[in-house]
Amino acid sequence: MFEAFAADGRFWRGNLHGHSTGSDGAYSPDEVCARYRAAGYDFICVSDHFLARYGHPVTDTRPARGSGFTTLLGAELHAPATGQGELWHIVAAGLPADFAATGPDETGPDLARRATAAGAFVALAHPHWSQLTLADGQSVEVAHAVEVYNHKSAVEVDRGDGLVLYDALLHAGRRIGAIASDDSHHHEYDLFGGWVMVKAAENTPEALLAALKSGAYYASQGPEIRDVARDGDDLVIACSPAQSIVLAGPLTWRQRVLGDGLTGARFALEPEQGGWRRLIVRDAAGRRAWSNPLWLDA
């Protein structure tokens, strides 16, 4: 949380999870980039399915970089098998263009390990859609983030949230971030529903990737978290107009302010209670923004 708001620079809006004709998306990589750019995004990662039938693509979006827009190279990594026997879906943003094809014996956690070793920011995709268990989440010990909102899964099957797994991992002590993504494929309805706001000094792949790995971002469906500052044992928040501002912690710990047009809040952190605190801002349309956690012993 503090990484996002204390870091130098400004917030850049990006989608870390989406597909193109490099796998099963409807638009070419160029068109995907053009659509996001036209919608006001500063960067995206085209994360095509890293499967043999698509030639294990790390889709090259470098031609779309320039004039205020940039891209991270990446892929959605797949391997057998989650605790439920499903294929793993793991988003890796910041892969090298020559990331080697999946080996015959590689598992999801193996692939995630190889991706992070190659420099990528790695997130567990759509946990509810995949019905990931806590043991699944624990097994990918290198993951930087959980996709707490996946727009395509939300619209298509009402399984867009990853918050139950996310809180369970936090409760188990995992220091892990929260991203929101479109997972855009073919349809107008799976665009522009969830994104990350990354705080970095400049909108370059290197600066964005470093900021993501340091936790300097928040996830949103619409609301802006403009500032979060610690004032002694209080937390002072400024945000876009909201109906609820909630600070959630372990188990039942929470504080909240409810009202119309709220643009800020002050909460007592109660650091003696320990654990972590994370912020949720919800607007009048029900759209949410989620901060990364503040660990009170950090």
Told to check if 76 binds Zn ion by CB under 5 A, we report yes
Question: H or E segment at 180?
Answer: strand 177-181
Q: What burial class does residue 278 get, using C-beta atoms within 10 Å of its C-beta: 0-12 exposed, 13-18 middle, 19+ buried?
A: buried
Told to check if 89 binds Zn ion by CB under 5 A, we report yes
Q: Which stretch binds Zn ion (CB under 5 A): 27-35, 117-125, 132-140, 266-274?
A: 117-125
Told to check if 167 binds Zn ion by CB under 5 A, we report no
* CB 183, min distance to Zn ion, A: 4
DSSP 53: G
Q: Which stretch binds Zn ion (CB under 5 A): 65-73, 76-84, 198-206, 229-237?
A: 76-84
* Structure token digits, residue 255: 């504080």
Question: How far apart, in whole angstroms, are the C-alpha atoms of residue 98 and residue 100?
Answer: 6
Residue nearest to Zn ion (CB): 89
* CB 122, min distance to Zn ion, A: 14
* CB 157, min distance to Zn ion, A: 12
Cβ closest to Zn ion, residue 52 vs residue 251: 52
DSSP-derived 3-state class of residue 4? helix
Told to check if 114 binds Zn ion by CB under 5 A, we report no
Cβ closest to Zn ion, residue 18 vs residue 205: 18
Question: How far apart, in whole angstroms, are the C-alpha atoms of residue 175 and residue 178?
Answer: 10
Told to check if 125 binds Zn ion by CB under 5 A, we report yes
* CB 61, min distance to Zn ion, A: 16
* Structure token digits, residue 298: 């950090």
Residues 62/46, Cβ–Cβ less than 8 Å: no
Residues 77/102, Cβ–Cβ less than 8 Å: yes
Question: How far apart, in whole angstroms, are the C-alpha atoms of residue 48 and residue 111?
Answer: 15
* CB 226, min distance to Zn ion, A: 30
Cβ closest to Zn ion, residue 182 vs residue 283: 182
Q: Which stretch binds Zn ion (CB under 5 A): 74-82, 155-163, 172-180, 206-214?
A: 74-82
The whole-angstrom distance between residue 126's C-alpha and the CA centroid of its chain comes to: 10
DSSP-derived 3-state class of residue 66? strand
Cβ closest to Zn ion, residue 139 vs residue 240: 139
* Structure token digits, residue 45: 């990662």
Taking CA atoms, 27 is separated from 24, 32, 35, 77, in Å, by 9, 6, 9, 20
Q: Which stretch binds Zn ion (CB under 5 A): 124-132, 169-177, 205-213, 246-254?
A: 124-132
* CB 181, min distance to Zn ion, A: 8
Among the listed residues 136, 161, 183, 283, the single contact to Zn ion using CB under 5 A: 183
Which chain residues interact with Zn ion by CB under 5 A? 76, 89, 125, 183
